[in-house]
């Protein structure tokens, strides 16, 4: 029988969009790039979290549904061997990797190290989402100290979350998340209209979003637009006004304000920094 492929720290099946590596946590935002058949059985040296941001994820982790819709958070202990993959090879995800020795020094986390599992506790999913939003426009806009603090928050949530079964969300909750992700580029999308399509009150929609994922529908919408824009801005030939419209902003000024408010820089500054930054972090497809 063939030996599984060995993935060293920070290596995944995926196209790296941006990432940062500190003294404790290695954090990456990736896009799936391999079809299901191309993903082989593989073994991870490090312990890591995978937050599915879009797409359908097929996982062998405990509590994982047959097909996990975004957002799904998985924790894989060190030496996890699996063939977790995206349906049709389409999706995006965040990874937070750490040295297994960090877990070894915390007795209360021993239960979390027994096997891979889906973490559905609101504290865990919200902590992972905060990391994804803080990553924002990539290494050029990320606060390293805050990202490390968010990483510790995520790790601390393992204590109670590892032994919990999947929480029951309303049937429409994942449809709401998928709709925001899929429709973020539509400039006239309103949260009230989304609530109407789902047959729920906007207040109820906001409350469930906050409880489940630690953010409002509006915050998710803005984040997805900014993430889309940041990817387009890496293309030197794309005009700023064109990027703004393609990402779902009303106009270039709207995009400028969002970048400045969230990341403390203009889209032009972000583009210049990213063009000067080469991708030096190793990557494979997850």
For residue 30, give its domain range.
Answer: 5-276
Domain for residue 209, yes or no? Answer: yes
User: Is 285 domain-assigned?
Assistant: no
Count of structural domains, the chain:
1
pLDDT of residue 44: 95
Domain annotation covers residue 284: no
Digit-coded pLDDT (tens) for 118-127? 988 888 888 9
The reply to whether 14 falls in a domain is yes
What average pLDDT does range 148-158 have in this prediction?
A: 87
Vertex 138: Cα angle to 137 and 142 (nearest 5): 90
pLDDT grade for 245, boundaries at 50, 70 and 90? very high
Residue-wise pLDDT for 259-282, tens only, equals: 888 878 899 988 888 777 644 444
Task: Tell whether the model's pLDDT for residue 141 goes beyond 60.
Answer: no
Structure tokens at 121: 């506790």
Q: Is the CB of residue 129 less than 8 Å from the CB of residue 227?
A: no
Specify if 56 maps to a domain. Answer: yes
Q: Which two tokens stand for residue 257?
A: 């304000």
286 falls within a domain: no
- Which is higher by pLDDT, 31 or 272? 31
Q: What is the domain-level CATH number for residue 227?
A: 1.10.10.60
pLDDT at 107: 65
| Model pTM score | 0.83
Indicate whether 153 belongs to any domain: yes
The pLDDT confidence band at residue 284, using thresholds 50, 70 and 90, is very low
| Percent of the chain topping pLDDT 70 | 87
Task: Let me know if residue 253 belongs to a domain.
Answer: yes
Tell me: the pLDDT tens digits for 190-233?
Answer: 889 999 989 999 999 999 888 888 888 988 899 889 988 988 88
Q: List alpha helices for 114-201, DSSP H.
A: 122-135, 144-156, 158-161, 173-183, 191-198
**pLDDT of 104 over the 80 cut:** no
Measured distance CA(261)–CA(22) in Å, rounded: 25
Alpha-carbon distance 12 to 100, whole Å? 17
């Amino acid at each position: 029988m063939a030996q599984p492929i060995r993935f060293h720290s920070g290596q995944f099946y995926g196209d790296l969009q941006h990432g940062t590596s500190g003294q404790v946590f290695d954090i990456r935002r990736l896009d799936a790039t391999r079809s299901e058949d191309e993903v082989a059985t593989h073994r991870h040296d490090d312990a890591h979290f995978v937050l599915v941001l879009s797409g359908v994820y097929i996982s062998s982790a405990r509590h994982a549904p047959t097909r996990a819709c975004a957002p799904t958070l998985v924790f894989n202990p060190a030496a996890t061997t699996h063939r977790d993959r995206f349906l049709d090879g389409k999706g995006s995800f965040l990874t937070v990797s750490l040295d297994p020795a960090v877990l070894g020094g915390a007795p209360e986390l021993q239960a979390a190290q027994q096997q891979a599992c889906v973490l559905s506790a609101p504290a865990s999913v919200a902590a992972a989402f905060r990391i994804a939003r803080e990553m924002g426009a990539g290494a050029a806009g990320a606060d390293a100290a805050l990202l490390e603090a968010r990483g510790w928050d995520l790790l601390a949530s393992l204590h109670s979350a590892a032994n919990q079964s999947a929480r029951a969300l309303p049937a429409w909750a994942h449809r709401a998340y998928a709709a925001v992700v899929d429709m973020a580029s539509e400039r006239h999308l309103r949260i009230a209209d989304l609530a109407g399509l789902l047959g729920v009150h906007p207040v109820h929609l906001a409350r469930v979003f906050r409880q489940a994922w630690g953010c409002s529908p509006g915050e998710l919408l803005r984040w997805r637009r900014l993430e889309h824009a940041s990817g387009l801005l890496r293309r030197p030939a794309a005009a700023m006004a064109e990027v703004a419209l393609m990402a779902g902003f009303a106009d270039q000024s709207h995009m400028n304000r969002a970048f400045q408010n969230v990341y403390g820089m203009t889209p032009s500054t972000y583009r210049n920094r990213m063009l000067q930054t080469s991708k030096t972090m190793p990557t494979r497809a997850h």
